[in-house]
């Protein structure tokens, strides 16, 4: 595929701001709206961190602001010590009426829902985008029956034939041909158990997928697992609203599954840590997708929104998943963790997140050859 002209610096900046700003806003609105529903007062709603660039205070006393560092955001509820929602013991000294509006005064299940609402908002946003695309352009459907086997491919070498109907890969059910790529792509060069039906009989073949390196329009390289087969027929079917939402939920689930697989492969060494990306790579990819048009950019926004929701659910203190882990422990123990243990967990979480941000930023600088290679 021939390279296209890479977007300029300002396209990267614009793409990054148009991507991350709305996604962070949606995430924090999830927290804010559910908190407001339960009667919790929000002191600050911030897009970005650090010095305030612009803002206003509404009639409820919430300070809405845009801050200088556009790498996230937060809602600071009454009773929070800081933007990471560490509890502040001073809330107990407030008058009863004000104390009832503090986050810490709410029942455990309400606090958990307020925290969970942020990641869920990102998932819902992505599902709405995917559903809208399905309704507008239809769904590509193909039977998992093989219509073509590439000569010299791992599929041909393993004995796959035209007319074979693939029903499962490594125990995961295959409903249509697109499922095959979803299950094979995350496992380049790995053995896979392919279950199929041939002439009415069940057959299982052990196949080691090929490592296929692909380049997009901008020269970005991606390695994926590949068998070398094609479908027998492809249709584009119209999709109604309810069906579109159901399919979009399935697509979102599949993307999350691939993320879990990818993290597991990095931890076990099957994939290089160089594949981890930070803000610089997000800016690069967002600018590239924006240069391709609104459809490519919005589809990319849906993917990043799913990433944002998933990452925030990881059980790391200071992230939403860390708070939910503490609430789960509180539900089991019937009492909250001690202030000291929460403080140490918070410090550890901050250290981990800062170290990870430094690592992925250095990774970005190296992979993008910012200093010349």
User: What does the pLDDT read at residue 85?
Assistant: 62
Within 8 A by CB and 6+ apart from 205, the residues are: 158, 159, 160, 193, 194, 196
- Is residue 274 part of the annotated active site? The answer reads no
Residue 329 tokens read as 């422990």
Tell me the sheet residues that pair with 55: 65
Spatial separation of the C-alpha atoms in residues 159 and 61, rounded to whole Å: 69
For the chain, 373 residues long, the average pLDDT of each consecutive 10-residue run is: 63 91 96 96 93 93 92 86 62 74 91 96 98 96 93 93 94 92 91 93 93 84 90 92 96 92 84 78 91 94 96 91 92 84 84 86 74 46
User: What does the pLDDT read at residue 119?
Assistant: 97
SS3 335: coil
Taking the chain, what is the end-to-end CA distance rounded to the nearest angstrom? 24
Contact between 214 and 165 (Cβ < 8 Å): no
User: What does the pLDDT read at residue 88?
Assistant: 63
Catalytic one of 28, 190, 195, 288: 28
User: What does the pLDDT read at residue 1?
Assistant: 45
Spatial separation of the C-alpha atoms in residues 103 and 76, rounded to whole Å: 9
User: What does the pLDDT read at residue 6?
Assistant: 66
Spatial separation of the C-alpha atoms in residues 74 and 32, rounded to whole Å: 9
Tell me the sheet residues that pair with 56: 64
Q: What is the pTM of this model?
A: 0.89
Spatial separation of the C-alpha atoms in residues 179 and 309, rounded to whole Å: 23
Helices (H), 171-292: 177-184, 241-268, 279-292
Phi, psi of 360 (to 5 degrees): -70, -30
Spatial separation of the C-alpha atoms in residues 12 and 17, rounded to whole Å: 9
Spatial separation of the C-alpha atoms in residues 225 and 207, rounded to whole Å: 11
Phi, psi of 220 (to 5 degrees): -70, 135
SS3 216: coil
């Amino acid at each position: 595929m021939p390279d296209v002209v890479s977007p300029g610096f300002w396209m990267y900046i614009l793409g990054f701001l148009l991507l991350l700003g709305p996604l962070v806003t949606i995430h924090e609105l999830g927290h804010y709206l559910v908190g407001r529903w339960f009667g919790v007062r929000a002191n600050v709603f911030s897009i970005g961190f650090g010095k305030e660039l612009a803002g206003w205070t509404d009639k409820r006393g919430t300070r809405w602001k845009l801050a200088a560092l556009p790498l996230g955001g937060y809602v600071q509820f009454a009773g929070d010590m800081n933007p990471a929602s560490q509890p502040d013991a001073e809330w107990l000294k407030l008058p009863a009426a004000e104390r009832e509006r503090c986050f810490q005064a709410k029942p455990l299940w309400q606090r958990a829902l307020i925290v969970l609402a942020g990641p869920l908002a990102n998932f819902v946003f992505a599902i709405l985008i995917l559903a809208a695309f399905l309704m507008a352009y239809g769904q590509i459907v193909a039977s998992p029956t093989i219509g073509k086997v590439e000569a010299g491919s791992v599929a041909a070498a393993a004995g796959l034939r035209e007319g074979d109907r693939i029903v499962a890969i490594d125990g995961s059910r295959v409903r249509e041909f697109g499922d095959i790529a979803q299950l094979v792509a995350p496992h380049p060069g790995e053995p896979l158990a392919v279950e199929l039906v041939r002439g009415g009989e069940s057959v299982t073949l052990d196949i080691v997928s090929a490592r296929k390196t692909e380049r997009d329009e901008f020269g970005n390289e991606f390695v994926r697992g590949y068998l070398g087969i094609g479908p027998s027929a492809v249709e584009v079917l119209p999709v109604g609203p309810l069906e579109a939402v159901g399919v979009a939920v399935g697509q979102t689930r599949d993307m999350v599954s691939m993320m879990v697989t990818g993290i597991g492969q990095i931890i076990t060494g099957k994939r290089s840590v160089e594949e981890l990306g930070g803000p610089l790579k997000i800016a690069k990819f967002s600018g590239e997708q924006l240069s391709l048009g609104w459809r490519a950019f919005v589809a990319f926004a849906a993917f990043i929104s799913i990433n944002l929701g998933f990452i925030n659910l990881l059980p790391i203190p200071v992230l939403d998943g860390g708070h939910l882990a503490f609430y789960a422990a509180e539900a089991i123990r019937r009492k909250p963790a001690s202030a000291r243990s929460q403080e140490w967990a918070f410090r550890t979480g901050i250290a981990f997140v800062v170290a990870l941000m430094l690592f992925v930023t250095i990774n970005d600088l190296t992979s993008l050859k910012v200093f010349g290679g």
